[in-house]
Amino acid sequence: MNKQVLVAQMPVRYQSEWLTAREAAQHLRVAHRTILDWAKTGKIPAHRLSGTRRCTWRFRADELNGAIMATPSAAKNGETFNATGK
């Protein structure tokens, strides 16, 4: 009997172990700037690279997914959103 290993289906662009801030933003469907702000404030798990003149961040898709799934949704907190602003 042949055994096959099933690999989780991820888009090709996310098969790398590490994501850049832009790739993480695409993965979570938020703005690139939002990812950087969340990384700086500790809202999402992020890894800062040392030895660079600028602040460079890397992210792992599995850690981002876990952090997002652990965050309570607004609906569970009884919050509402009114798109009209009224």
77-84, long-range: CB < 8 A, 24+ apart:
none
What's residue 7's pLDDT? 42
Give per-residue pLDDT as tens, 26-85: 999 999 999 999 999 999 999 999 876 788 999 999 999 888 888 776 556 665 555 555
Torsion of CA 64, 70, 76, 77, to 10 degrees: -90
Predicted TM-score (pTM) of the model is: 0.64
Per-residue pLDDT, averaged over 14-36, amounts to 89
In 1-86, DSSP assigns E strands to 47-49, 56-58
Domain boundaries, the chain: 14-70
Instruction: Classify 22 as helix, strand or coil.
Output: helix
Tell me which of 23 and 72 has the higher pLDDT: 23
